[in-house]
Amino acid sequence: METPRERAEKLREEIRKHDYHYYVLDQPLISDAEYDRLFRELVELEQAYPDLVTPDSPTQRVGGEVLKGFTPVQHRVPLLSLDNAFNERELRDFNRRLKERLGDEAVAYVCELKIDGVSIALVYQDGVLMSGATRGDGIVGEDVTANIRTIKSLPLRLTYPLPRVEVRGEVYMPKEAFARLNREREDRGEKTFANPRNAAAGSIRQLDPKVTAGRTLGLLVYDILHLEGKEIDSQRETLEFLSELGFPVDRNFRWCASLDEVLEYCEEWQGRRHELPYEIDGVVVKLNSLPARQLLGATAKSPRWAIAYKFPAEEKETKIVAIELNVGRTGVITPTAVMEPVSLAGTTVSRASLHNYDLIREKDIRVGDMVVVHKAGDIIPEVVRSLPEKRTGKEIEFKMPDKCPACGSRVVRFSGEVAYRCDNINCPARLKESLIFFASREAMDIEGLGPALVEQLVDRGMVSNVADLYYLRAEELAGLERMGQKSAANLIRALEQSKGRPLHRLLNALGIRYVGLKTARILAEHYRDIERFSDIDREELMSIPEIGEKIAESVTAFFAEPRNWDSIHKLKKAGVNTVEPEFSMAQDSQFAGKTFVLTGALESMTRNEATKAIEDRGGKVTNSVSRKTDFVVAGRDPGSKYDKAVALGVTVLDENQFLQLLGRQAKA
Ligand SMILES: NC(=O)c1ccc[n+]([C@@H]2O[C@H](COP(=O)([O-])OP(=O)(O)OC[C@H]3O[C@@H](n4cnc5c(N)ncnc54)[C@H](O)[C@@H]3O)[C@@H](O)[C@H]2O)c1
Ligand SMILES: [Zn+2]
């Protein structure tokens, strides 16, 4: 039998290992629920045997570490973690402790959603962003100022030039962006992120800010760490004041007079979590009164005046009936688990990507296994672990074939990649996936060109590259299965319509490695005409903000390939647009239907030019500020309109922020 001391030692070792993979590498080996179980066990053991507690135990300190390559920053106010409550009883205990210390009257709460992202501390001097740092171990964090500046919702300047403000918030990756990023990574044969939090952490902790800029990140601010020039004495006021300063604040918080209201809030959001565009893993319950917080203080790990109520992990057990192989458009062969359907977090789940062969080995997943499934980032079904204790002996271990399941060509694995690939660039499976991608919503958006049709077009040899699509005739299409005259005519019309898409959609559709919609847009805005890609080089590409080395290399390689130009010219000949119209951003930008007011002088353009730029994008410029105004653009020496905007809480943009919104480069 293990002694409690041995068990505690073992748990600490395990937890330290997982902390390292989670906080330092941003690649956890186990799910949060499993980690929490280990952590819980250690906490309970240490409570039962207090002399087992060591000062370096993971229960006594904040988990992170400073990555090499970043400048360490000493936090003025320690950035602590939070104690957890996993059920109602633990919330009641917390409430009782507070009431015992403070008396009944002093205890009211503010409940906030616990956004699953990365903690960040921001420092503003005279209203201007000076620095941003990660939490690190709570005392020392990493300077990530250059990276966080790329986050669109982060104010570079506050509405009031207070002498010094330090705030704390959460940088997160929206669920959709997380799903897209993982899809792209899988296509490229790279490791996927376990959840949006690790993806956000991995994006913020990049030595090259261009990589961060290519990721979609959001920010929500929830705490003031230090403030000069204003007195605040409750959490509710804190959140209101943060809003007033121009910070993005999550508006779903609620003031709660009693524990019952707190419990109601927790229950409500446990049910509504799937409605949110970002992932939450619980509710943070905070004592509202700041003076009362002072009385309670904190341990080395967490404040005594707040607690995180963690939602139960949404997991289900089911059985793996098969492992299918799918060949993607880059040739990456992805294994997918086919499972007995289970309902999970609001939908029925019967398939989950197993990502790659290594992962199947690591998790020891076999056909016939009972497994635990969950949804990563609240949307992507995933196998968490197999349940070997439920095996019957009939399970079958999975082997990667050495021939492509679609074309029989050699399967290769490049060094440094987790993926196996089909080596054949003419592999019909790859061609099919490329065509499906080419026709998809974010690419050329060709309605009616789905997988079933693509399958037939390729199998019958009617299409052997994307350009062939535009040479299809209604008569040949009408002869296909489930097609008929009418659908054939509709498809021809859809193809016709797709010819007018702006260049960035075409660039995305071509499926160039590392070029997603966002990068495609940057490239298209920069070059405007596809012909200009014929003599680009790496250096030139890298001089574009947000274009890093990997992208530059892959774009250069793509346009150096004569076969790609054959397709491009064939597309062009069919009448497909290959230029980027001025201001194509307008279609989906922040401008359409919005009202702007200009005040003060801009350095980079005249009032008239600014007005035209806004109107070209579908916005409207008016003369006076009211509650209906969406943005006030404040240049040098702004007038009373500026004050009015601040008083009404209208978003004020400085020149750089305005330029950013226009999609132009900020001035130096
Ligand atoms: N899977 C693994 O291997 C592994 C390893 C280590 C840690 N973890 C997970 O990480 C978590 C522990 O990490 P932690 O120490 O950052 O604690 P935590 O994530 O449980 O809670 C503290 C954090 O909550 C965040 N937060 C979000 N919204 C907030 C709000 N409105 N107000 C205040 N704070 C808010 C803050 O960033 C704060 O740092 C656990 O959930 C654990 O499961 C997992
Ligand atoms: Zn193949």
Which helix (H) or strand (E) segment holds residue 411: the answer is strand 411-412
User: Residue 81 Cα, ligand 1 centroid: separation in angstroms?
Assistant: 7
- At 248 the pLDDT is 95
Counting ligands in written order, which one lies closest to the CA of residue 420?
A: 2
Q: Which amino acids are annotated as binding site for NAD(+), given as ranges?
A: 32-36, 81-82, 112, 135, 170, 286, 310
Q: Which two tokens stand for residue 95?
A: 């409430």
Among residues 468, 527, 538, the alpha carbon closest in space to that of 503 is found at: 527
For residues 449 and 16, give the distance between their C-alpha atoms in angstroms, rounded to a whole number.
Answer: 51
For residues 120 and 134, give the distance between their C-alpha atoms in angstroms, rounded to a whole number.
Answer: 5
Q: Of ligand 1's atoms, which has the minimum distance to the CA of residue 28?
A: 3
> Which residues lie closer than 8 Å to 410 by C-beta, 6 or more apart?
402, 403, 404, 422, 423, 424
Q: Which of 99, 114, 518, 644 is catalytic?
A: 114
Distances (CA, A) of 58 to 45, 79, 181: 13, 16, 32
For residues 282 and 113, give the distance between their C-alpha atoms in angstroms, rounded to a whole number.
Answer: 6
Overall fold of domain 428-573? DNA polymerase; domain 1 (1.10.150)
End-to-end CA distance of the chain: 67
Distances (CA, A) of 16 to 23, 116, 200, 361: 10, 21, 21, 23
Q: Which two tokens stand for residue 619?
A: 């916005």
Surface-to-core class of residue 409, CB atoms within 10 Å of its CB (0-12 exposed, 13-18 middle, 19+ buried): middle
Domain ranges of the chain: 4-60, 72-310, 316-421, 428-573, 585-662
Give the pLDDT band of residue 650 (cuts 50, 70, 90): confident
- Give the SS3 label for residue 539: helix
- At 233 the pLDDT is 94
Percent of the chain with pLDDT over 90: 70
Question: How many other C-beta atoms are found inside a 10 Å radius of the C-beta of residue 340?
Answer: 12
Q: Which amino acids are annotated as binding site for Zn(2+), given as ranges?
A: 404, 407, 422, 427
> Which residues lie closer than 8 Å to 148 by C-beta, 6 or more apart?
120, 122, 132, 154, 171, 204, 212, 219
Domains 72-310 and 428-573 in one fold: no
Q: Which two tokens stand for residue 257?
A: 């007079």
For residues 149 and 163, give the distance between their C-alpha atoms in angstroms, rounded to a whole number.
Answer: 20
- At 5 the pLDDT is 94
Counting ligands in written order, which one lies closest to the CA of residue 135?
A: 1
Q: Which residue has tokens 């990660």?
A: 134
> Which residues lie closer than 8 Å to 222 by C-beta, 6 or more apart?
112, 168, 169, 170, 238, 239, 242, 249, 250, 284
For residues 36 and 270, give the distance between their C-alpha atoms in angstroms, rounded to a whole number.
Answer: 18
Is 316 tagged catalytic?
no
Q: Which amino acids are annotated as binding site, given as ranges?
A: 32-36, 81-82, 112, 135, 170, 286, 310, 404, 407, 422, 427
Counting ligands in written order, which one lies closest to the CA of residue 58?
A: 1
For residues 616 and 636, give the distance between their C-alpha atoms in angstroms, rounded to a whole number.
Answer: 24
Kindly state the average pLDDT of the residues 522-538: 93
Q: Flag whether pLDDT at 587 surpasses 70.
A: no
Mean pLDDT of the chain: 91
- Determine the angle formed by the axes of helices 451-459 and 428-439, rounding to 10 degrees: 140
User: Residue 411 Cα, ligand 2 centroid: separation in angstroms?
Assistant: 8
Point out which residues pair with 635 in neighbouring strands: none
Greatest mean pLDDT among 259-268, 539-548, 549-558 lies in: 259-268
Overall fold of domain 585-662? Rossmann fold (3.40.50)
The model carries a pTM of 0.78
Q: Which CATH superfamily is domain 4-60 in?
A: Helix hairpin bin (1.10.287.610)
Percent of the chain with pLDDT over 70: 97
Give the pLDDT band of residue 66 (cuts 50, 70, 90): confident
Kindly state the average pLDDT of the residues 203-217: 90
- Residue with CA at minimum distance from ligand 1 atom 35: 114
Helix and strand counts by DSSP (H, E) for the chain: 23, 22
Q: Up-side HSE of residue 267: CA atoms within 13 Å toward CB?
A: 7
User: In the structure, which protein residues have their CB atom closer than 6 angstroms to any atom of ligand 1?
Assistant: 18-19, 21-22, 28, 30-32, 35-36, 63, 81-82, 112, 114-115, 119, 135, 170, 222, 284, 308
Q: Which two tokens stand for residue 395?
A: 């399970």
Least confident span in 22-26, 133-137, 505-509? 22-26
For residues 354 and 420, give the distance between their C-alpha atoms in angstroms, rounded to a whole number.
Answer: 13
Residue with the larger pLDDT of the pair 590 and 113: 113
Q: Which two tokens stand for residue 216?
A: 């979609």
Q: Flag whether pLDDT at 586 surpasses 50.
A: no
For residues 332 and 420, give the distance between their C-alpha atoms in angstroms, rounded to a whole number.
Answer: 6
Q: Which two tokens stand for residue 593?
A: 């239907």
Most ligand 1 atoms within 8 A of CB, residue of 26, 39, 119 to mutate = 119
Q: Which long-range contacts (CB under 8 A, 24 or more apart) does 398-401 make?
A: 398/323, 398/335, 398/357, 398/360, 398/365, 398/366, 398/367, 400/333, 400/335, 400/357, 401/325
Among residues 204, 223, 226, 225, the alpha carbon closest in space to that of 215 is found at: 204
User: Residue 464 Cα, ligand 2 centroid: separation in angstroms?
Assistant: 14
DSSP-assigned letter for residue 158:
-
Stated length of the chain = 668
For residues 168 and 565, give the distance between their C-alpha atoms in angstroms, rounded to a whole number.
Answer: 50
Kindly state the average pLDDT of the residues 349-356: 94
pLDDT in tens, 154-204: 999 999 899 999 999 999 999 999 998 998 888 888 888 999 999 999 999
Among residues 370, 371, 356, the alpha carbon closest in space to that of 325 is found at: 356
Q: Which residue has tokens 């420092």?
A: 123
- Decide: 82 and 146 in contact? Cβ < 8 Å: no
Q: Which CATH superfamily is domain 316-421 in?
A: Nucleic acid-binding proteins (2.40.50.140)
pLDDT in tens, 594-630: 889 999 999 888 888 888 788 767 678 888 898 888 8
For residues 657 and 154, give the distance between their C-alpha atoms in angstroms, rounded to a whole number.
Answer: 10
Q: Which residue has tokens 């605040």?
A: 232
Which helix (H) or strand (E) segment holds residue 486: the answer is helix 484-498
- Residue with CA at minimum distance from ligand 1 atom 9: 32
User: Residue 425 Cα, ligand 2 centroid: separation in angstroms?
Assistant: 8
Among residues 367, 411, 359, the alpha carbon closest in space to that of 186 is found at: 359
Cβ density class 635-667: b for 16+ within 10 Å, e for less: beebeebbebbbeeebebbbbbbbbbbbbeeee
pLDDT in tens, 87-132: 999 999 999 999 999 998 889 999 999 999 999 999 999 999 999 9
Surface-to-core class of residue 2, CB atoms within 10 Å of its CB (0-12 exposed, 13-18 middle, 19+ buried): exposed
- Residue with CA at minimum distance from ligand 1 atom 29: 114
User: What sign does the dihedral 626-627-630-635 (CA atoms) show?
Assistant: positive
CATH code assigned to 72-310 = 3.30.470.30
